[in-house]
Amino acid sequence: MKLRALLIVPVVIASAAPAATPDMRALRQGMADYGKCIVKYEPAKAREFVLSGGFVSRRNQDEQVLLSKECMPGEELLRVAMDDQKSLTSRGKLRLPDVMIRWAIAQALFDREAASLTATDFASVPTLTYEEPYPVSTTDGDGNTLSDKRIALQRQKFEEKAADVTMAKLGECVARMDGAGTRAVLLTALDTPEELASLKAVTPAIGNCLPKGQTLKFDRMSLRGSLAVAYYRLASAIRTGGAAS
């Protein structure tokens, strides 16, 4: 598990201009501002999305509001996000990765409701549910064989979403194992010594949550985001006395 180096030095992401180095702090702050904006104007839909454990449905009008242009980060930050998550373009337009949308909204929801989200023991909460990615298909609806390019695109999307689910499940495991430590992470400010210290403090739980022989690459943004989603779902279930989704 290559955790230490990734927490101390965030992963460097390739940018559109080879000579430039993207500012990950700017990306993280841009995503934080996006989350606060969406939660401010669409709190119910934002909460429903995070609690569902699903991906963004760009055909669902209720979820389309999560992609509000008024809240969305600028194009430069979106390009950094796309490089980070290896996201695809949709009809030539930049598309913010689903996982980053979920991370940002979960943290913003926690910030808004932190006073009532104080649980650290989630033994009574059933295992969270997650939307799984569609399997790769080699034929269309008529049974015709798809081109190698279309199959490759499907496979890329599948692998991206499968990785998102893996990180989400890791976040749940860590939050269950160290609820107090997870909550402490979410209370720290971005890119501060306090944030780094709190993330290091949950590394024993991370090590116990990873299957033997498996490695995952993540930085502060992805780890904190995964913890934010997991904690918000679990703590919300405790607060309401019901299921998490």
| Per-residue model confidence (pLDDT) at position 242 | 53
Q: What is the mean pLDDT of each run of 10 residues along the chain (245 residues)?
A: 38 31 78 93 93 77 73 72 54 66 96 96 95 73 76 74 87 97 98 95 92 79 96 94 51
**Whose structure tokens read 């500012």?**
23
pLDDT digits (tens, 9 = 90+) for 37-73: 999 999 999 999 999 988 876 666 666 778 777 888 7
Q: What is the dihedral of CA 38, 93, 78, 103, to 10 degrees?
A: 40
**3-state DSSP call for residue 73?**
coil
Domain count, the chain: 1
Judge whether 80 lies within some domain.
yes
Q: 104, 27 in Cβ contact below 8 A?
A: no
Judge whether 216 lies within some domain.
yes
Judge whether 3 lies within some domain.
no
| Amino acid at the residue 190 | L
| Per-residue model confidence (pLDDT) at position 241 | 65
| Per-residue model confidence (pLDDT) at position 132 | 74
Judge whether 135 lies within some domain.
yes
H/E element holding 117? none
Judge whether 1 lies within some domain.
no
Judge whether 6 lies within some domain.
no
| Per-residue model confidence (pLDDT) at position 144 | 77
| Per-residue model confidence (pLDDT) at position 58 | 61
Judge whether 7 lies within some domain.
no
| Amino acid at the residue 4 | R
Domain coverage including residue 95: 13-120+128-240
| Per-residue model confidence (pLDDT) at position 243 | 47
Judge whether 47 lies within some domain.
yes
